[in-house]
């Protein structure tokens, strides 16, 4: 079996990938994740193009140092209306994100790339997951943020924790997409490379 490398330093993605029971390594791709801007300083690419481009860039960033590997790259943004929302990094930005999301639908776009460095071929997909937010008071938002501190998460929440209480409805093909790694689609990609977790999974 070709070695698998996860091009991410995210603990959430590592935990998700562990579910497939396959041995893998991980490394940070250390790339510029900024969206492309036009001459006016405005974002000049769609959310789909952004996450697809960055997932490929993350995988390719580690290709030269990991020949004969299958490299998984993934990137995620949230979309509220026509605005792309990334990781807040601070309390203030997270508060603004959740206040804006209150009572609204947020669409999460997750790019996924599986690069075979042995032949240079890559599979790329963008998965979508929709979240309906409850009407949230400022006190609820403040308490949630101080409790869970989800400042490294697109959309300012951790759905695997208390963040689930923010939602009134979820819809999509794969709930793992919301956390940042679409496992159902990844299994399809791995099987196309001859790796079937249902036959190869082991306990480590």
Q: Cα angle at 54 between 27 and 121, to 5 degrees? A: 80
The dihedral through the CA atoms of 31, 36, 42, 46 has a sign that is: negative
Query: Which candidate, 17, 155, 184, 141, places its Cα nearest to that of 97?
Result: 155
On whether the CB atoms of residues 7 and 62 are closer than 8 A, the answer is yes
Q: Is 188 a catalytic residue?
A: no
Considering the candidates 30, 44, 75, 82, report the single residue annotated as catalytic.
Answer: 75
- The dihedral over CA atoms of 202, 110, 160, 106, expressed in degrees to the nearest 10, equals -160
Active site residues: 75
């Amino acid at each position: 079996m070709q070695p698998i490398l996860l091009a991410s330093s995210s603990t959430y993605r590592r935990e998700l990938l562990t579910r497939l029971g396959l041995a893998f390594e991980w490394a940070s791709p250390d790339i510029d994740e900024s969206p492309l801007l036009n001459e006016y300083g405005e974002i000049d690419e769609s959310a789909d193009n952004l996450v697809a481009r960055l997932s490929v860039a993350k995988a390719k960033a580690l290709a030269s140092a990991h020949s004969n590997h299958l490299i998984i790259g993934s990137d995620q943004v949230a979309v509220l209306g026509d605005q792309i929302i990334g990781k807040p990094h601070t309390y203030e930005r997270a508060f603004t994100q959740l206040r804006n999301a209150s009572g609204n639908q947020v669409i999460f776009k997750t790019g996924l790339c599986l690069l075979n460095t042995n032949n240079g071929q890559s599979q790329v997909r963008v998965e979508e997951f929709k979240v309906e937010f409850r009407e949230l008071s400022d006190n609820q938002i403040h308490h949630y943020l101080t409790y869970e501190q989800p400042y490294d998460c697109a959309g300012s929440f951790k759905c695997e924790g208390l963040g689930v209480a923010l939602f009134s409805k979820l819809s999509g093909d794969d709930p793992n997409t919301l956390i940042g790694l679409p496992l159902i689609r990844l299994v399809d990609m791995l099987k196309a490379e001859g790796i079937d977790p249902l036959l190869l999974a082991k306990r480590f």
